[in-house]
Amino acid sequence: MVYRFPKDKGLKSVKVTISDVAKKAQVSKTTVSRILNGNFAHATLETKNRVLQAIRDLDYRPNALAKGLKLMRTNVIGVILSNLKNPFWTNVLEGVEDASHRMGYHLMICNTNEDQEKEAEYIKEFQRRQVDGIIINPTVLNDELYNQMINEMPVVVINRRISNQNAINVVVDNVKGADLAIRHLIESGSKRIAVFMFNNEYVSPWMDRLKGYQSAMLLHGYTSKDFRILKLDQKSRELNEIIKKYIREHPDVDSIFSTNNMITLVLLDAIRELGLSIPKDLAVVSYDETIWAKYLDPPLTTIKQPGYEMGRIATVNLIQTINGKQNPNSKSIILQPELIVRTSSEKLTASEFTSI
C-alpha cells in the first residue's frame, strides 16, 4: 500500500516542550515523562493514548529521542522509494515484506517519483508517525535531512549512495554489472558499443554503470574517442524520438547497452519503428532482469540485480539496528550482479566468432 500524506501547511517552527504536551493531554509532566520512557504502570489506557496523541499532534521530539522513543515501538517500518514504475522495485519490496513479516513488522510505503520536496515531506511524516526505522532509496538531493534522520533513528539506504559515511548502505556492484555487459558484447562480436543512460550525476548506480562501460572499453583496446554515450532526461516525453535520432545519426553503432529497464522499453520500440532487427542490426543488453525479458522477441540479455536480497538484507539490518544489535561490519553491503545471456546480444555464434 502506498500512503499519501497531507501536505505541510507551512506553520512556523516552534520548539515544543514537555509542558506543552502535558497541557494538551491534560496530565502532569511526570506522567508524560513516564510514558515517554515506556512506564505505563501508573497510567490508564485512555491517558496513555491521550499523551501519545498529543506527542504526535505537536510533533514533540525530545533531545533524548533515541532513549525515550525507542521504547515506544510501533513495529512499523517506513519505506521510501524513488520510482515505483520501475519493475525492479517489485522484487526489492518482496524481500522487504517477507523479512519484515517474519520479524513482526508492518510497512508504510511511499513513492517520491524522484521529487525532492515529496521525499522531504515523507521523511518528516514518518518521523511524526514515529515509525521504528526507515528504508530509503534516496533522490540524493536532501543531504541535510538525511544527516538529521540518520542521527535520530535507524535508517538503511538502498541502491544509491549518499554522502553520510555513517549510513548503512545496501547496493549492487554496478561497475561490475556494466563490465559484464560490455565484455559479453565484445566477445559476441560487437565492434561499436553505445551506452544509453539517464543524466543525473547524483544517482550513483547510473554513474557507476557509465564508469563500468568506459573502463571495460578501455581494457579491450578502445580509446575515449570510441565512447558512444547518450544521456537522457528521465522526465522527457520525447525519449523515443531522441533515441531514434541518435540511432539514425550513428549508423556505425552495432550494439547498445541500456543502463535502465525503463530506457530499454523505449529503445525496443524505437528500434522496431526504425525497421531494424535485433540482434542483426543492433545487439542489446539491458540492466535489470524483469519478468518479461525472456518473453520478448528476441529474448533479452540482461544484467540481473539481486533485488529480493537487497530488500531482505536491508530489512534485517534495519531491524537489528532497531533492536540495538547492528553488525559493525554491515555499514556497506555490496551485492553482486549476474549476466543472463539470451538472443538479443548474439551478434555472432560461437563458431562464427572463433573463425574470425
Instruction: Tell me the CATH number at 204.
Output: 3.40.50.2300
Q: How many domains does the structure of the chain reveal?
A: 2
On whether both 221 and 348 belong to a single domain, the answer is: yes
Q: Once rounded to an integer, what is the mean pLDDT over residues 33-44?
A: 73
Number of residues that make up the chain: 356
Residue 200: domain span: 174-306+338-354
Peptide bond preceding 279: is omega within 30 degrees of 0, i.e. cis? yes
Residue 37 placed within a domain: yes
Residue 225 placed within a domain: yes
Residue 6 has pLDDT above 60, yes or no: no
Q: Is the Cβ–Cβ distance between 113 and 122 less than 8 Å?
A: no
The tens digit of pLDDT for each residue in 109-137 reads: 999 999 999 999 999 999 888 899 999 99
Residue 153 placed within a domain: no
On whether both 212 and 349 belong to a single domain, the answer is: yes
On whether both 60 and 182 belong to a single domain, the answer is: no
What is the CATH number for 61? Answer: 1.10.260.40
On whether both 64 and 209 belong to a single domain, the answer is: no
Residue 350 has pLDDT above 90, yes or no: no
Residue 328 placed within a domain: no
Torsion of CA 303, 306, 310, 316, to 10 degrees: -170
Residue 87 has pLDDT above 50, yes or no: yes
Residue 104 placed within a domain: no
Look at residues 72, 107, 138 and tell me which one is the last residue of a structural domain.
Answer: 72
On whether both 298 and 179 belong to a single domain, the answer is: yes
List the grid coordinates of 59: 510533533
On whether both 201 and 68 belong to a single domain, the answer is: no
Task: Enter the DSSP assignment of 2.
Answer: B
- Which among 303, 276, 274, 271 has a CA at the least distance from the CA of 287? 303
Residue 163 placed within a domain: no
On whether both 201 and 52 belong to a single domain, the answer is: no
Q: Is the Cβ–Cβ distance between 160 and 136 less than 8 Å?
A: no
Q: What is the pLDDT of residue 39?
A: 64
Residue 297 placed within a domain: yes
Q: What is the DSSP string of 45-89?
A: HHHHHHHHHHHHHHT---TTHHHHTTTS---EEEEEES-TTSTHH
Residue 182 placed within a domain: yes
pLDDT tier, 353 (very low <50, low <70, confident <90, very high otherwise): very low
Q: Once rounded to an integer, what is the mean pLDDT over residues 170-181?
A: 98
On whether both 229 and 348 belong to a single domain, the answer is: yes
On whether both 47 and 178 belong to a single domain, the answer is: no
Regarding predicted confidence, which is higher, 273 or 41? 273
